[in-house]
Structure 1
């Protein structure tokens, strides 16, 4: 059962936490961290059962990502990003699933979905692709990569209006740029650049983003499970926001543990300082609220799809609005407790500073930018039409 995944994560938790510093120094996840994550089965939660997955409820996926991120933010981030790809791959041509998982159900897929390349149609079918994509999280441990691309006109130019495609390439068709991930937050994710030079893409390894967004892709390949009918713009951010919330939960637990015996410069034990404890209590409530709201949003959407009701633009924009707010609320609470953790919180030997850096880096992902999400939600709530560019991540 899917809940066993979280149990295994908790069993491995102390070792995951102990490996976090090594991951940061490596600039990618260690082989042992990946071994533990594969053993727990986190990445297979949204994978079809016929390929060794769980076809789990998305809330269970979110819970598992949070559990990993509580111990190591970078590992949680990779689980949140890489873990959603089996959900999309299941909606593509079954030949691709067989290629990816036929011999190894633990084969991972990385991604940068930003459409940084043009997929040019070629005579006889398929496309050629070239480009450079940053932020391919976990790429060192992945055998395939999901890349965003614009449909081309056959002459190297994108067609207008633009059509966003997601394309899947094997490891042999792209290069990972090792020195492209020099950062101060989420360093352990190894979110390096990947480069493609005139790779050939068979048609069956491509899909239009709009088909995944609307649920048409799942219907086309005969998927009946509710999980695969959910909109892309709700599922793609889910793991990322879950990772950020999990980081904040981990930081809160560590803060409380460190304050238990701490004595302030005034000679007062922190456990007797009402101001510090007030902030800790308030932060705990804010982080818990973020967790509840995130899971509530995806669960409501799941229930609506399962009951056969139409998922409206307003429904989708409500979920996106709340995902963004969950992340910002949790990180704001983290800032409050870090400000009351004392100077030792910023020693490199103290994991608190790593949680803080990782969470803020996660907040800078495009899915957490509040402007468009809030603007779109207000328009949808008023029954007004959203501009096409605003609908991409709604």
Structure 2
């Protein structure tokens, strides 16, 4: 079934690409783009089969996100972010899954996971949540939202030591701030701010970050598919990095199309310029290396679990290290070809400049910050103790 998703993306690719400029101007995905994404089935790839999903291999999900992003970076970004949420929801209470997907398996859930609010425990096994969260990608087309929060102590203050929760709210319990997404790239993702004021959240719509990170939630869910036993630290970044690589693949294809018939100011056809062609060939190799390394790595971890094993902390750390490097390598390659695309590439009418801006904004996401991922991995490689704060990232 996953291959059918890729096939539908290929068929709908030209339509997705044609809508990319409109999405940027709207500051969110158009209704038509959202409809096309639903037609592909990409958001349901990591959704459990008993709620209309495919429980697909994560490498297929990554490949699907790349294919969408190559046509429209914003649509690919939303597919990568929103598409990973069914994976986490599959490990949460079945009552919540029924509420979200029971009537419509194509219901989408947005997120910002950063713990910008406080979930204070109250009676009836519930929490009261308030706060404001930026960067809720695709939120205009989502009916629920994953929000990060600090667990409260009952008096409105966070517990100490802190405990981070993931809290799921229906659209009726939060407000989107329409003028909050004013950015230089990935404009079409509509990653608006979310505001919550004293929403009451039953505990079954929550999970602690530790439980989702260390496998407790997965074991509690009873789901046997290997995909749901992968760690949050390798699954959450997967769709985001896949989107960045797909953006770079789309930029490379656009660059080559421009160069094919371009004549430089010197009167030389660019296809006869060995320097430009060398840069394009090198960039193609670097972008493909990023694709292969990301997909092969997540596939390796999945296969370990499928065969009855458990990935080691070092193996998970290697994937996080490589995932970060894949994004930086691909965007660095894009920089090399953008610099050689000629003046036409900087015109707003050229998709080349949009790919370039979108790729760099994608690199700004916190999961692409290289310091912690590289630092932690080096400690693992030397057999030294890793600080607890770094373990949650893998």
Q: TM class by shorter-chain length? A: over 0.9
**In the alignment, which residue of structure 1 is the partner of 2:288?**
288
| 1:244-283 aligned within 5 A | 244-283=244-283
Q: Which moved more, 1:149-158 or 1:79-88?
A: 149-158
Work out whether 1:48 is the aligned partner of 2:48. yes
Q: Which moved more, 1:270-279 or 1:158-167?
A: 158-167
CA apart distance, 1:250:
0.3
Q: Write the deviation string for residues 190-214 of structure 1: whole angstroms up to 9, x where unpaired.
A: 0000000000010100001111112
**In the alignment, which residue of structure 2 is the partner of 1:307?**
307
Q: Could you say what the CA RMSD is over the residues aligned between the two structures, in angstroms?
A: 0.7
Work out whether 1:6 is the aligned partner of 2:17. no
Q: Write the deviation string for residues 81-137 of structure 1: whole angstroms up to 9, x where unpaired.
A: 000000000100000000000001000000000000111110231100000000000
Aligned partners of 2:115, 2:45: CA distance in 1, in Å? Answer: 27
CA apart distance, 1:353:
0.3
**In the alignment, which residue of structure 1 is the partner of 2:36?**
36
Aligned partners of 2:312, 2:154: CA distance in 1, in Å? Answer: 35
Aligned partners of 2:73, 2:140: CA distance in 1, in Å? Answer: 17
Aligned partners of 2:140, 2:17: CA distance in 1, in Å? Answer: 20
**In the alignment, which residue of structure 2 is the partner of 1:149?**
149
| 1:160-199 aligned within 5 A | 160-199=160-199
Q: Which moved more, 1:52-61 or 1:296-305?
A: 296-305
CA apart distance, 1:297:
0.9
| 1:68-217 aligned within 5 A | 68-217=68-217
**In the alignment, which residue of structure 1 is the partner of 2:393?**
393
**Runs of 4+ displaced beyond 3 Å:** none
CA apart distance, 1:309:
2.0
Aligned partners of 1:336, 1:319: CA distance in 2, in Å? Answer: 26
Aligned partners of 1:68, 1:43: CA distance in 2, in Å? Answer: 12
Aligned partners of 1:391, 1:149: CA distance in 2, in Å? Answer: 19
CA apart distance, 1:305:
1.5
SS of the equivalent of 1:179 reads: helix
Q: Write the deviation string for residues 208-258 of structure 1: whole angstroms up to 9, x where unpaired.
A: 111111222121121111110000010000000000000000000010011
**In the alignment, which residue of structure 1 is the partner of 2:333?**
333
SS of the equivalent of 2:285 reads: helix
TM-score (norm 1): 0.99
SS of the equivalent of 1:196 reads: strand
CA apart distance, 1:316:
1.2
Unaligned ranges ≥5, structure 1: none
**In the alignment, which residue of structure 1 is the partner of 2:346?**
346
Q: Write the deviation string for residues 301-325 of structure 1: whole angstroms up to 9, x where unpaired.
A: 1111222223222111101000000
CA apart distance, 1:337:
0.3
Q: Write the deviation string for residues 43-84 of structure 1: whole angstroms up to 9, x where unpaired.
A: 000001111111000000000000000000000000000000
Aligned partners of 1:4, 1:161: CA distance in 2, in Å? Answer: 47
Aligned partners of 1:245, 1:73: CA distance in 2, in Å? Answer: 10
Q: Which moved more, 1:59-68 or 1:115-124?
A: 115-124
TM-score (norm 2): 0.99
CA apart distance, 1:180:
0.2
SS of the equivalent of 1:380 reads: helix
Aligned partners of 2:54, 2:84: CA distance in 1, in Å? Answer: 13
Unaligned ranges ≥5, structure 2: none
**In the alignment, which residue of structure 2 is the partner of 1:379?**
379
Aligned partners of 1:55, 1:222: CA distance in 2, in Å? Answer: 14
SS of the equivalent of 2:384 reads: coil
Aligned partners of 2:124, 2:15: CA distance in 1, in Å? Answer: 52
**In the alignment, which residue of structure 2 is the partner of 1:239?**
239
SS of the equivalent of 2:148 reads: strand
Aligned partners of 2:379, 2:250: CA distance in 1, in Å? Answer: 36
CA apart distance, 1:383:
1.4
CA apart distance, 1:355:
0.3
